[in-house]
Amino acid sequence: MSNELDIFRAYPVEMQPIETVMRVSAVKRWHMIETVRTQTLAEHSANVALLAMVIARMAPMEYFDTYAAVGIAALVHDVSEVFTGDIPTPTKKFVNGINELELRLTHPVFVGAVNGNSDALIKMCDLADGIRFIRIHRVDTTGTHAQRALEDQLATRIKAAEVVLEWPDHLVAHVLRCLQFYMYERY
């Protein structure tokens, strides 16, 4: 039985998880920003996963899930982009139903649940990887604007962790120190 989402797949539905793995290194990120080199979804996902794992493992107390669970969740955080491509954030804000589409395109084998603190950390690491990549590889002012927008989003996420998730000061300081070093190579 076929459905409307089959147009995204080149292979039988039972092979979707394998097809996802086959395609992950072909998806290009930052297609609207001129950069000196291309970043793939595979590279980005690996960076986010490793960064989130290290920060979770080094965290001063048990705020996050196990570092392995954090790493797995981070590794697959953008896996739906294998079938949608890298949809720019401004576009996502104006198109209804993108989140639902991404969920429908993600095979259950790639869905993992982590606690709210771990999810917040993964989103921060996602933004940090974007900031680092654009900072190092941007070509023009569009890249500068994109970097500033990512920095603003990260500041908002950090504030939400402090206020909504009630992260203690020492946890915020730990996460910020790690992210600052990753993004700007300073601490």
Mean pLDDT of the chain: 92
CB 56 within 8 A of CB 65: yes
CB 66 within 8 A of CB 35: no
Residue 113: pLDDT band with limits 50, 70, 90: confident
Q: Which residues of 56-87 are buried (b: 16+ CB within 10 A; e: fewer)?
A: beebeeebbbebebbbbbbbbbbbbbbbeebe
pLDDT of the residue at 3: 60
Topology of domain 4-184, CATH: Hypothetical protein af1432 (1.10.3210)
Summarised one tens digit per residue, pLDDT across range 50-59 is 999 999 999 9
Residue 175: pLDDT band with limits 50, 70, 90: very high
CB 182 within 8 A of CB 50: no
Token pair 């606690």: residue: 115
Q: Which residues of 112-125 are buried (b: 16+ CB within 10 A; e: fewer)?
A: bebeebbbbbbbbb
CB 154 within 8 A of CB 44: no
